[in-house]
């Protein structure tokens, strides 16, 4: 009679805690580095250890996980003469240097030959018009290594608001869900009340999505809401908060702090906050209205995040400076 295999020991309290802590560390580490200076970082992983996982701060993935986001992307910086610039305090028809930090979540495989596509899009949430800037190659070492790539970018000749979009791709990417990042911010000077128009673009102008991948994403978000709770495809909801990226690493990284939502710092509203696109309607303009306190003081940021049909649409971070 063949010997029977010994039963595996039941997981101990210590092993359970260790596993839980490792998972929590991986989750909270997504926001725990000084990305603009190229320090360490790890992103949400899949259970894949033998493939590279190039990644960037991805607002859309975080929205899917119901986590707060900032649209002032910590992995994208714009410089002129070596001095970092406000994304929305740029001069028309002027050349800037865009610096992009690319990370690799894999500890075993280098992300060599990662494609970094850089585009600019019109200011707003879900803007459909994208303009190609360049396509770069990043050779990213294993975690916690990073690679910083640069590209010159000349701003358009006419004034306007510009959002930088970065999309990564790799033929052996273990987790393509963390490859898209926006750097979409605006700076406003306030007297006491500031109105900032924001253009919300309709993702599906011709009606419900017919693209199978888009429809599958919408169905996934709808099913996550529970039976009978999925909003229609043209329903738009806008949220505002003052969440700020927690720049910390290692022992200084505290999940309860990094993932804690932050309510709007000052009285704020969006008009309208809820609406439904008409069939064929390309976009809708809304107003972000912030009542800033009188007198001197620190500026505050307001993250405007839009959802369409229950799925992430996009957003912008508006920094409001006091008038005093």
As a whole-number percent, the residues of the chain with pLDDT over 90 amount to 45
Query: Burial, 110: exposed, middle or buried (Cβ in 10 Å; 0-12, 13-18, 19+)?
Result: middle
- pLDDT value at residue 312: 92
Beta-strand pair 185-189/311-321? parallel
pLDDT tens for each residue of 51-99 = 999 999 999 999 988 889 999 999 999 999 999 987 767 788 889 999 9
Name, of 188-192, 209-213, 302-306, the range with top average pLDDT.
302-306
7 has a pLDDT exceeding 50: no
CB 124 within 8 A of CB 282: no
- Position 196 scores a pLDDT of 87
pLDDT at res. 13: 40
Residues 6+ apart with CB under 8 A from 148: 38, 99, 100, 101, 102
Whether the pLDDT of residue 188 is over 90: the answer is no
Token pair recorded at residue 123 = 């200011």
What value does the mean pLDDT of the chain take?
A: 80
Q: Tens of pLDDT along 41-56?
A: 444 444 445 899 999 9
- Radius of gyration (C-alpha) of the chain in whole angstroms: 21
DSSP-derived 3-state class of residue 176: helix
Helix (H) or strand (E) holding 26: helix 13-28
Q: What is the pLDDT of residues 215-263, one digit of tens each?
A: 555 555 555 555 556 688 899 999 999 998 876 655 676 777 777 899 9
Count how many Cα atoms sit within 13 Å of the Cα of residue 7 in the half-sphere of its side chain: 3
Q: Give pLDDT, residue 21.
A: 38
Residue 267 pLDDT greater than 90, yes or no = yes
What's the pTM?
A: 0.74
Q: Residue 297 pLDDT > 70, yes or no?
A: yes
Least confident segment among 7-21, 41-55, 300-314: 7-21
Instruction: Give tens-digit pLDDT for 106-160.
Output: 989 999 999 999 999 876 666 568 899 999 999 999 988 899 999 999 988 877 6
| pLDDT, position 5 | 44
């Amino acid at each position: 009679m063949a010997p029977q295999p010994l039963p595996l020991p039941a997981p101990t309290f210590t092993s359970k805690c260790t596993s839980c802590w490792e998972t929590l560390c991986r989750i909270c580490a997504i926001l725990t580095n000084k990305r603009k200076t190229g320090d360490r970082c790890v992103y949400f992983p899949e259970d894949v250890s033998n493939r590279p996982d190039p990644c960037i701060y991805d607002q859309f993935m975080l929205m899917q996980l119901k986590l707060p986001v900032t649209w002032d992307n910590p992995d994208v910086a714009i410089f002129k003469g070596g001095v970092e610039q406000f994304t929305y305090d740029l001069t028309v028809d002027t050349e800037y240097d865009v610096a992009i930090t690319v990370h690799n979540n894999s500890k075993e495989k280098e992300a060599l030959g990662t494609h970094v596509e850089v585009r600019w899009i019109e200011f707003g949430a879900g803007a459909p018009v994208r303009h190609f800037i360049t396509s770069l190659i990043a050779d990213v070492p294993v975690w916690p290594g990073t690679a910083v790539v640069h590209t010159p970018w000349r701003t358009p000749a006419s004034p306007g608001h510009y959002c930088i979009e970065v999309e990564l791709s790799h033929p052996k990417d273990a987790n393509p869900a963390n490859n898209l990042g926006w750097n979409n911010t605006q700076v406003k000077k306030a007297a006491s009340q500031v109105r900032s128009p924001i253009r919300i673009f309709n993702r599906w102008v011709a009606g419900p999505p017919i693209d199978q991948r888009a429809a599958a994403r919408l169905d996934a978000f709808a099913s996550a809401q529970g039976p009978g709770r999925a909003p229609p495809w043209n329903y738009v909801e806008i949220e505002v908060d003052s969440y700020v990226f927690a720049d910390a690493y290692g022992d200084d990284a505290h999940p309860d702090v990094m993932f804690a939502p932050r309510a709007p710092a000052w009285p704020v509203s969006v008009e309208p906050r809820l609406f439904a696109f008409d069939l064929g309607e390309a976009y809708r303009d809304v107003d972000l209205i912030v009542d800033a306190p009188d007198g001197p003081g620190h500026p505050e940021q307001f993250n405007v995040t839009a959802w369409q049909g229950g799925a992430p649409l996009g957003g912008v971070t508006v920094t409001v400076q006091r008038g005093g």
